[in-house]
Chains A and B, each alone.
Chain A
Amino acid sequence: MSEPVKNFKGILATLDRANVDTDQIIPKQFLKSIKRTGFGESLFFDWRYDEAGKDNPEFELNAERFKGASILITRNNFGCGSSREHAVWAVDQYGFRAIVAPSQGEGENKIQAFADIFKNNCAKNSIITIELTEAEVEEIFQMVGRYEGLEATVDLEEQRLILHLPEEMAFHFDIDPAVKKNIIHGLDDIGLTLQKETDIEAFELKHNTQIAPSNVS
């Protein structure tokens, strides 16, 4: 269960790479913890630190201008690979509260902005995944490049990302209504499923988990 989130304002930071996988977001040596905390310092570990363990100046997110950023702008298929929720805990504990990425193309050839399991894990941790078009994300990359310390507001209720430029720029985004509701109200989704316990019990009476059939005669 998380704190309710309706909207928030924060600094934008860019990571100009596609297909960023969860092994990059948090390498395996940090998966040995039995706790849910302490992952923020390990976010993008292999890219972020040099051999001596100091900040790698080449890595985009280490730039002074991105310090304290809470909205990450990146490229498509972010979070692919392993199901490790540690990746989302790392994103969260680093301070990001929303990730913006583009989908590419249309119809059956559409490439999604986010990998499936990662996106699910984000929803469970109230990290807002915002999928925009390629052109829109490109425009945001340009604006972040041009205006140092650029801030934006994520308005979850209105499903809008608003860039605070001299002339405000806003982008509408879609979100699963169930996810939106859970995040806005900070709902405990295990509790929500347990509200259906009568249905679950009735289902279990007719469902044999060994041989499945529950609805066939």
Chain B
Amino acid sequence: MAKTLFEKIWEQHVVTTLEDGTSIMYIDRHLIHEVTSPQAFEGLRLTGRKVRRPELTFATMDHNVPTDDRYNIKDPISKAQIEALTDNCKEFGIQLFDLNSDKQGVVHIIGPELGITMPGTTIVCGDSHTSTHGAFGTFAMGIGTSEVEHVLATQCLPQKKPKTFKVEFAGIPKAPVSAKDLILKFIGVVGTAGGTGYVLEYCGEAIRALSMEERMTICNMSIEAGARGGLIAPDETTIDYIVKNDRPYAPKGEELEKAIEYWKSLPSDPGATYDREITIDVTNLSPQVTWGTSPGMVMDVTGTIPNVDEVPGYSPKDVQHTLDYMGLTPGTPLTDIKVDTVFIGSCTNGRIEDLRIAAKYFKGKKVAEGVHALIVPGSQQVKKQATEEGLDKIFVEAGCDWRESGCSMCLAMNPDQLKPGERAASTSNRNFEGRQGKGGRTHLVSPQMAAAAAVEGHFVDIRTWEED
């Protein structure tokens, strides 16, 4: 019988299925960070349980680390959390990439970078953006802390088999329209609960044409559509990413050959069926900008702020609340909206290609008066690469604030926060109320759009933006 990519991975990982239909699923890789793991380790201590396969768990600190003076954590509670992770990893024998490591970074950036993320495997992490790793054809999902404890103790998770959802992007968008625009468009079409209960599989010409890093941007935001995961079938692009680079944890030699053979068997069979399918023509896609407090509140850059009764899927009462929070008036063109802060970084858009494209927009230009442009590399390796390529100089010369790696203003757990009423163009993944700081107003965009907004001080249609 023809099988989908997801079904193939699922079958490889079911240890046993119980009478009530729950399957015990084996977890190949477990990533942990400082925020959602301390209570899980505490649970192990209270029940006297051990970590079943410590060599399959990898830890880093990313969520609340400062991105300026990273060795001087002023917040004692953040510091305690970082220290707890260090102690827990030591006690239970888990590999930790701490602030002294040249491999430290945002957990979803370093997984692929280090070769921890491999096609056809299962990966979990106590973080909803674990879906990022799906770009490799990996079943990767975010879990809660009780489940983190479950995986530490058993290397398994009880799971009900999710449904499958084929998301086809037809046509190839024209640059400078990017992967971020594709995924924002998709979320706008299906809504933030459109993928709930499903594992998505992104496919189509537009996906095949993307680099691995762009595919990660797409899969990263699967959770913003509510999905349990989002996959892209591995192909030559995937194999090259792994094989042609130094990925210390990737298989080598004979193991690599076997692995490649397996990876090539993973793409969905012709005729495989899905529980839901959608096709979105992206040939003429415009750059996307969110205007509200849900990633589904998104529109073309050429759009205007809608009236309260013009937003499908949201009640007029909720839209009014959103407009009040965002300080926006219906009828305002998006390109008239001024920004105070620009954030380029996060597990969505904090990789080297994102920084390269942003640097292209900043080169020879200056950040607009009154705008704070924060550039946060996703990892120490990304930072090193960017420095070697001289991108850091371009950013600094343009007047950007070039930082150390971490989650930073994506969730603003560290000191990088918006002040009440401040408006940001952000390459991150969530525009929820208060997400980037209490009272802060977030517009999600691609790195290209963010950089142009930084230079002009307001959103611009980068397709027609004068480059000089």
Which residues of B sit under 8 angstroms from A76, Cβ to Cβ?
Answer: 193
Q: Which of B22-30, B379-387, B389-397 contacts A (4 or more CB under 8 A)?
A: B22-30
Bound together, the chains give a CA A135 to CA B77 distance in angstroms of: 45
Closest to B157 in A: A193
Closest to B130 in A: A83
Do most interface residues of chain A lie in helix, strand or loop, or is the interface mixed? loop
The answer to whether A19 and B24 touch (CB under 8 A), given A121-B146, A196-B15, A209-B56, is no
- Is the CB–CB distance between A124 and B251 below 8 Å? no
- Please count the residue pairs between chain A and chain B whose beta carbons lie under 8 angstroms apart in the complex: 209
Bound together, the chains give a CA A207 to CA B251 distance in angstroms of: 15
- Is the CB–CB distance between B29 and A124 below 8 Å? no
Which residues of B sit under 8 angstroms from A155, Cβ to Cβ?
Answer: none
Which residues of B sit under 8 angstroms from A188, Cβ to Cβ?
Answer: 47
Which residues of B sit under 8 angstroms from A116, Cβ to Cβ?
Answer: 196-197, 226-228
Interface residues on B, range: 35 or more
- Is the CB–CB distance between B24 and A83 below 8 Å? no
Indicate whether B36 reaches chain A with its CB closer than 8 angstroms: yes
Chain B proximity mask over A6-38: 1 for CB below 8 Å, otherwise 0: 000000000011110101100111011111100
In chain A between 196 and 217, which residues have their CB closer than 8 angstroms to a CB of chain B?
A: 196, 199-200, 203-204, 207-216
Tell me the smallest distance from the CB of B185 to a CB of chain A, in Å: 18
Indicate whether A125 reaches chain B with its CB closer than 8 angstroms: yes
Q: Which of B147-155, B203-211, B364-372 contacts A (4 or more CB under 8 A)?
A: B147-155
Indicate whether A42 reaches chain B with its CB closer than 8 angstroms: no
The answer to whether A190 and B153 touch (CB under 8 A), given A32-B81, A117-B128, is yes
Indicate whether A64 reaches chain B with its CB closer than 8 angstroms: no
- Is the CB–CB distance between B128 and A46 below 8 Å? no
- Is the CB–CB distance between A29 and B12 below 8 Å? no
- Is the CB–CB distance between A112 and B226 below 8 Å? yes
Q: Looking at the complex, which one of A46, A88, A178 makes contact with B144 (CB distance below 8 Å)?
A: A88
In chain B between 425 and 441, which residues have their CB closer than 8 angstroms to a CB of chain A?
A: 430, 432-435, 438
The answer to whether A46 and B438 touch (CB under 8 A), given A212-B120, A213-B262, is yes
Bound together, the chains give a CA A45 to CA B251 distance in angstroms of: 47
Which residues of A sit under 8 angstroms from B42, Cβ to Cβ?
Answer: 34-36
Q: Looking at the complex, which one of A35, A194, A196 makes contact with B153 (CB distance below 8 Å)?
A: A194
In chain B between 251 and 288, which residues have their CB closer than 8 angstroms to a CB of chain A?
A: 251, 255, 258-259, 262, 265, 275-276
Q: Looking at the complex, which one of B15, B20, B294, B438 makes contact with A199 (CB distance below 8 Å)?
A: B15
Bound together, the chains give a CA A184 to CA B142 distance in angstroms of: 26
Bound together, the chains give a CA A36 to CA B28 distance in angstroms of: 27
Which residues of A sit under 8 angstroms from B430, Cβ to Cβ?
Answer: 21, 23, 81-82
- Is the CB–CB distance between A211 and B258 below 8 Å? yes
Known A33-B77, A214-B12; further 7 A-B contacts with Cβ < 8 A: A23-B433, A36-B42, A117-B143, A121-B144, A196-B16, A207-B12, A212-B121
In the A-B complex, the 10 residue pairs with the smallest Cβ-Cβ separation, listed nearest first, are: A34-B38, A85-B144, A124-B146, A121-B144, A211-B259, A83-B142, A77-B193, A112-B196, A32-B77, A85-B145
